[in-house]
Chain A
């Protein structure tokens, strides 16, 4: 089953494709020398700060900045009236104000910005701005928003003969489920440094997932041509979708251009929670019809996502939620309706898994319900209905590429369950709090599997550009890779270096910093960057190789086809012996080539039926969660997470594992603790005191089984790996809790009060 198509050259490229090469930025990161976007300082620089709306919906009656401007040390105070270009921005639709004018539509919306010579002075100045609001009734219920026509997008998918499938179905099970608002909670706050340029332009060093699309929006707001706006990727402290939209970008540039001085901005944690989009909270209604022998006959789904105050990426998040609302199964008929609406809640947009997390939670929860109704084993039911190559998706596309869903589930089943440990309070729910001696602790096991598209779906003509130079300098042969791919922690810098090593046979590779002077690499999202920018680097390397071998062939009088690059030299392809030193081959100058990689074309979906060949590729992951639940106290300890995933060819196995472990943790967080609590449009818990993410005590060991089925369409057979683990992790935990307690638990995160005190509803332990 498992095959690796790793290319290894005979000599020298120990850190090439397929090796767990160390990160090129690792040393800087462990010595404190790596410069994050919050670490950048310049002589004479100022500090920016943002005034935000305390109201979810209000008219701005008055905005008087004069008292703030009068404070010594304050150099500028700007409002929406001071935005010279477009007053709004947005990735898909330009509807989000740079600074609100007239009306505010969500709690935390930026209203004014200040630049001062000390961060504390800037904060004091904010308090001196006289902002008067006339509060309006906020629209906060997504159902009410839908009824009022406050719609961002309705996605409609119709597949197969639903009426006939309903006839055939002998068992019908419907459930309603809810997902709370999750936050990316990256540790590095939104931050950047804007430097005014002599030509009237500006250079912005910033955390980002996609520099070029940021620049397009920033330039429009500044009223500058794009050539005068240069974006440089500063060190990024995690992203997970939360840096797809702009944050400090325009504000810092406006202040820098107004004051003529560099301006640094850095959000505190509270501001970070208010200053980026979140994962859409969702209400899901899923219905399964099946025959008694345990075959799914149909699925219907109604998904309602709260998009909050502005569009952000909502139109594509809801599409992605709908594409996979029938799960990783053979489903002959389906009717899927997804809605995302505008409300006065915080804006929602991209987060790892991008809509598929919510629908996977719904469909996998309902699948366990279906299993119970059929009297079937939840794992067997999943295996029996597992999607496979050739399965027709609800959107009409046949699944191509590897689709080993049944195999992933079998791998989980084959793994022995964790043993019960001897009593240790640290291993009990509640941990060192010593909350329980274990009398009312029940163990539960839950399974889930998920599918997601890799790369951009729906007819987006997506590409990535990379440039590679092969040279010899004082240190010997070196390859330099330049792209604008955003390194957010996932390791795309390592991947680029590994590919150059393998393709050019040199050990020393420099991955240059990312900025908008390079070609557009697209976004570090949709699990696409290794595939897309990996493809671009490989293509550029191939072009470089062809030219250097061409030169060598001319010098040696040998056909180029008989030569190869290896060990930092030109070698004879058959024997591997060195034919020419690279230095001689490059005597005529270094060689540079650029390559643009594009994936196969896709189409949009039909607005009435949702039919279309929308996807580039698919990726699958499955989880098994084992939990201990104290049914009296409602406390939960996850004992083990086991996962199986097809990762395609792993360019860097260690980094792949890291993605899977991290994604599993974020899914566990959504299942048990992570929620932005919003009441009447106000965010109640914008801090790490009140918004909890898993700690090392919350995370159990993650046991992993990886398949390496090379994807036929991708460079080296890679596939995207970052998002799939965040799909199935959450429902696996929820299903384990249901298994342990016998409760419905329709909503995540599951809180202790959802379990505690409901002991009378609890059937005897299932263990």
Chain B
């Protein structure tokens, strides 16, 4: 089958998509955007989190056909050209990235949180990121990064 959708603002057409291929597979293998990661394919780790029409979803759980006519935004689409989004900057600065395999999904999820809740409390951050596993950091630096990015965004918005 053929799937037409928009990814990071660019219209894309994927051809010869098999029944049962996930949005994650199509992004990684057919659109050439391997930034979204596959660490479980079961909706358990959050490494594949992308925006679908503005809402974070596990791309591994979305059938490719469901993306037809919709808008997808991945980790590759968070930066404004070469200018990193504050959440990306904060992840590097705070040491929230070690191996980085969880990072693309966490960035999308945290980006969404800050959009919805400009200055999230710690329990709000924890709740929002509860579906994103990280094996390296123990999450402490991830919390730091989200706090910092939220503060910077709030500052910039003032």
Contacts and interface: CB of A to CB of B under 8 A. Distances in A.
A532 B103 CA distance: 29
Contact of A695 (B79, B94, B130): B130
B118 interface: no
A657 B79 CA distance: 28
Contacts of A187: 37, 39, 45, 47, 99, 101-102, 133-135
A245 interface: no
A52 B104 CA distance: 31
B94 to A, nearest CB: 8
A71 interface: no
Given A189-B39, A489-B100, A687-B44, A658 B95 contact: yes
Nearest to A39: B34
Contacts of A20: 95
A27 interface: yes
A657 B95 contact: yes
A115 B92 CA distance: 38
B135 A240 contact: yes
B43 to A, nearest CB: 9
Contact of B137 (A26, A32, A34, A661): A661
B97 A23 contact: yes
A696 B129 contact: yes
A411 interface: no
A185 interface: yes
Contact of B92 (A27, A120, A665): A27
Contact of A237 (B84, B100, B142): B100
Given A30-B107, A696-B142, A658 B98 contact: yes
Contacts of B135: 184-187, 238, 240, 662, 666, 693
Interface in A700-716: 701-702
B9 interface: no
A32 B44 contact: no
A314 interface: no
Interface in B119-157: 123, 125-127, 129-143
A32 B76 contact: yes
B108 to A, nearest CB: 10
A697 B127 contact: yes
A31 B76 contact: yes
Nearest to A30: B88
B55 interface: no
A358 interface: no
Contact of B99 (A488, A666, A702): A488
Contacts of B142: 696
A695 B133 contact: yes
A609 B30 CA distance: 62
Interface in A74-125: 118, 120
A689 interface: yes
A22 interface: yes
Most buried by A among B44, B75, B129: B44
A696 B33 contact: no
Contacts of B94: 654
Contacts of B35: 31-33
A743 B101 CA distance: 39
A26 B100 CA distance: 8
B138 A699 contact: yes
Contact of A688 (B45, B139, B140): B45
Contacts of B41: 268-269
Contacts of A664: 138
A38 interface: yes
B66 interface: no
Contacts of A701: 140
Interface in A232-276: 235-240, 266, 268-269
B40 interface: yes
A688 B40 contact: yes
A590 interface: no
Contact of A687 (B42, B76, B98, B133): B42
Contacts of B79: 31
A25 B143 contact: no
A31 B42 contact: no
Contacts of A27: 84, 92
Contacts of A236: 99
B101 A188 contact: yes
Contacts of A23: 92, 97
A25 B138 contact: no
A696 B141 CA distance: 11
Nearest to B84: A30
A31 B107 CA distance: 9
A496 interface: no
B127 A432 contact: yes
A237 B39 contact: yes
A22 B92 contact: yes
A118 B44 CA distance: 25
A490 B101 CA distance: 13
Given A27-B84, A663-B138, 16 more contacts: A22-B93, A32-B34, A120-B18, A187-B39, A237-B99, A424-B123, A489-B136, A654-B95, A658-B138, A662-B98, A666-B135, A688-B42, A688-B44, A694-B139, A696-B126, A701-B140
9 contacts: A30-B103, A41-B29, A186-B135, A238-B136, A266-B38, A269-B41, A654-B95, A665-B137, A695-B139
Considering the complex of A and B, which 3 residue pairs feature the smallest CB-CB distances, nearest first?
A32-B35, A489-B99, A661-B138
